[in-house]
Amino acid sequence: MLAALISDPEERRRIARASGIDDATLKRYAENKTKRIRLHMFWPLVAAVPQVHRARLTALIREEFPDFSLDEAPSAIEPAQLEGAERVQLQVYERVLRAHATTPLSLRFWAICNIVMSAAIEQLDPGPQPTGVKVVLAQCISNPQGQAVNYLRETFLLGTLPWRTDQTTPLFLGAESLSGYAVISGRPAICQNLRKNPTFLPVRQEEYEESAVAYPLRQGERVGGSFLVVAAQPDFFTPPRLQLVDAYTELVGLALRESEFFAPDAIQLRTMPETSVQRAHFASFRSRVNALVSASEREVANIVEAEQRVWCQLGEELMNLTP
């Protein structure tokens, strides 16, 4: 059965990353070339395979290794909550620390976000039939005077179907959002059912979203934004998954520069307009960027700087549309 599960190279690499068992060892297991297998290695392996195969794989392992029992699994991999319950793998920490130390400053944000958020998606929504999970980094944006943070901007998004994050325009968020609440309060905000919202948290429910959590990005007492995770089913965030989101929040915070964290008294979030209003404003984004780049008296060094300036202009305009 293991040979069949790892016959596809991409799936084999995914299982290897999720379980912490390298490709070569997985092949040896499947070919029965390993004389002695430590039973604790089976726990992360069972958790890493798609849910539809776990019961059968567990039964076969027990048949071959009678001493194996999921009842003795570590607390990080509880038998009743195996989906996405693995700890962050050591390889992810190593890659993030290497990127933080060696990547040029101009590219470090994108490098670390890509590593961390790709790994988070793989662990939170594994298998060929995804539940649907979206991860979002929402950063604090200070006003032009640099004196206060009035809103957040989604600066990195990644998701599995039904989301197509390559076609999603990042939004501005404020006090009306779960991310905004996490930033203002400095603590996690968890809503297991966005439609019913039994805890009366500030939420802005977008298409496909059923449950969500937002954790603040902290550096000591200062806050740089939030790590938002949204699922396409209610009650998605079991305790092991919340522990996983917490760990990934700490990692993705390394993508931000020290100057991008703000003291609590500088956090003065306003309410940002609804999504349809924001998207209408975004229609002018590209033309405004091109105008800055092609101006005879160039005020920007490159297109990246021009885009950042236009985003700031749009944020200020949208903020002023609400009371």
Domains of the chain listed by start with CATH number? 2-81 (no CATH), 90-266 (3.30.450.40), 275-319 (no CATH)
Report the percentage of the chain scoring pLDDT > 70: 89
pTM for this predicted structure: 0.71
Given a cut of 70, whether residue 128 has pLDDT beyond it is no
- Among 196, 202, 198, 158, CA closest to 182: 202
Q: What angle do CA 162, 165, 169 make, to 5 degrees?
A: 125
Highest mean pLDDT among 28-32, 104-108, 300-304: 104-108
| Alpha-helix runs per DSSP H in 81-238 | 90-102, 105-124, 178-185
The rounded distance, in Å, linking the Cα atoms of 107 and 210 is 33
- The C-alpha atoms of residue 23 and residue 140 are separated, in whole angstroms, by 40
Report, as an integer, the average pLDDT of 133-149.
89
Residue 142, strand partner residues: 149
pLDDT at 287 over 80: yes
Measure Cα distances from 243 to 76, 87, 138, 230 in Å: 9, 8, 20, 15
Strand partners, 149: 142, 267
pLDDT band at 286 (very low <50, low <70, confident <90, very high): confident
Q: Which pLDDT belongs to residue 185?
A: 93
pLDDT band at 244 (very low <50, low <70, confident <90, very high): very high
Q: Edge-to-edge strand order for the sheet containing 189-191? A: 172-173, 149-159, 133-142, 222-231, 211-219, 189-191
Q: Do residues 182 and 279 lie in contact, with contact meaning Cβ atoms separated by under 8 Å?
A: no
Confidence of residue 72 (pLDDT cuts 50, 70, 90): very low
Mean predicted confidence (pLDDT) in 105-117: 93
Q: For residue 69, what pLDDT is reported?
A: 64
Strand intervals (E) in the chain: 133-142, 149-159, 172-173, 189-191, 211-219, 222-231
Q: What residues form DSSP beta bridges with 139? A: 153, 225
Cα(121)–Cα(106) distance, integer angstroms: 25
Least confident of 107-111, 130-134, 236-240, 319-323: 319-323
Residues 5 and 55: their CA atoms lie apart, in Å, by 14
Return d(Cα 62, Cα 1) in angstroms, integer. 13
* pLDDT computed for residue 84 by the predictor: 39
Q: Which has the higher per-residue pLDDT, 179 or 69? A: 179
Instruction: Determine the Cα–Cα distance for residues 190 and 159; give it in Å rounded to an integer.
Output: 19
- Helix, strand, coil percentages (3-state) for the chain, rounded to 5, are 50, 15, 35
The better pLDDT of the pair 35, 139 is held by 139
Q: Is the pLDDT of residue 82 over 70?
A: no
Kindly indicate the confidence band of residue 81, based on its pLDDT and cuts at 50, 70 and 90. Answer: very low
Give the list of residues 6+ apart from residue 128 with CB closer than 8 angstroms, or none: 11, 50
Q: Give me the helices (H) in 125-166, please.
A: none
Q: How confident is the model at residue 63 (pLDDT cuts 50, 70, 90)?
A: confident
Segment 99-120 mean pLDDT: 94
CB within 8 Å of 285: residues ≥ 6 apart:
310, 311, 314
Measured CA to CA, the distance from residue 38 to residue 206 in angstroms comes to 46
- Structure tokens that stand for 270 in this block: 């306003």
Given the structure tokens 């700031």, which residue do they identify? 312
pLDDT of residue 75: 42
Residue 312: HSE in the Cβ half-sphere, 13 Å Cα cutoff: 13
More confident residue, 18 or 159: 159
Phi and psi (nearest 5°) for 205? -85, 125
pLDDT at 36: 67
